[in-house]
Amino acid sequence: MANFPKTIHFTGLNTPVGIEWSARNLDVIGDIPAEVDGAFFRAVPDPAVPPMYADDIVLSGDGMVARFAISGGKVDYAIRYVETERYKLEREARRALFGQYRNPFTDDPAAQDKDRTVANTTPVWHAGRLFMTKEDGLGYEINPHTLETVGRWDYYGALRSQTFTAHPRIDPQTGEMFFFGYEAGGLCTKDVAYCIADKDGNLTSEQWFEQPYCSTIHDFAISEKYAIFPIFPTTADLERLKAGGAHWAHQQELESWVGIMPRYGKVEEMRWFRGRPGISAFHLVNAFDDGDLVHLDLCLSDTNAFGFMREAGGIQRDQREIGGGLTRWTFDMSKDGESYAERVMGPPGDMPRLRDVDQGRPYRAAWYMSMNPQGGPPLPGGPVGAAFNAMLRIEPGNGRIDMMPLDFGMAISEPVHVPSATPDHDGWLLAVVDRQSGEDMFQSELWIVEAGDIAKGPIARVPMPLPMRAQVHGSWVSRAQLDGARVPQAERVA
Q: Which of 472, 474, 477, 488 binds ligand V55 (CB under 6 A)?
A: 472
All residues at 6 or more sequence positions from 351 whose CB lies less than 8 Å from its CB, including other chains? 283, 299, 368, 369, 388, 413, 414, 415, 473
Residues that bind ligand V55 (rule: CB under 6 A) add up to a total of 10
Q: Should residue 121 be labelled a site residue for ligand V55 when binding is judged by CB under 6 A?
A: yes
Return the number of the residue (32 or 281) whose C-beta is nearest ligand V55: 281
CB 180 within 8 A of CB 229: yes
CA distances from 183 to 76, 121, 194, 243 (A): 38, 17, 12, 19
> If you write DSSP's letter for every residue of 91-142 in order, what string do you get?
HHHTS----STT-GGGS-GGGTTS------SEEEEETTEEEEE-TTS--EEE
Q: Which of 282, 308, 329, 331 binds ligand V55 (CB under 6 A)?
A: 282
How near is the Cβ of 120 to ligand V55 at its closest, in Å?
5
Largest CA distance in the chain: 60
Binding to ligand V55 (CB under 6 A) within 381-420 occurs at 383
Q: Should residue 247 be labelled a site residue for ligand V55 when binding is judged by CB under 6 A?
A: no
Q: Which of 297, 408, 306 is nearest to 353 (CA)?
A: 297
Rounded Cα–Cα distance for residues 317 and 37 (Å)? 44
Return the number of the residue (56 or 450) whose C-beta is nearest ligand V55: 56
CB 41 within 8 A of CB 76: no
CB 434 within 8 A of CB 379: yes
How near is the Cβ of 140 to ligand V55 at its closest, in Å?
14
Determine which helix (DSSP H) or strand (DSSP E) holds 480, and give its type and residue range.
Answer: helix 479-483
How near is the Cβ of 225 to ligand V55 at its closest, in Å?
27
Q: Should residue 303 be labelled a site residue for ligand V55 when binding is judged by CB under 6 A?
A: no
Q: Should residue 246 be labelled a site residue for ligand V55 when binding is judged by CB under 6 A?
A: no
Q: Which of 9, 67, 86, 134 binds ligand V55 (CB under 6 A)?
A: 134
Q: Which of 120, 223, 256, 413 binds ligand V55 (CB under 6 A)?
A: 120
Return the number of the residue (133 or 149) whose C-beta is nearest ligand V55: 133
Q: Should residue 45 be labelled a site residue for ligand V55 when binding is judged by CB under 6 A?
A: yes
Q: Should residue 215 be labelled a site residue for ligand V55 when binding is judged by CB under 6 A?
A: no
How near is the Cβ of 155 to ligand V55 at its closest, in Å?
22
CB 233 within 8 A of CB 251: yes
Return the number of the residue (84 or 121) whose C-beta is nearest ligand V55: 121
Q: Should residue 218 be labelled a site residue for ligand V55 when binding is judged by CB under 6 A?
A: yes
Which residues in this chain contact ligand V55 in the complex, by CB under 6 A? 45, 59, 120-121, 134-135, 218, 282, 383, 472
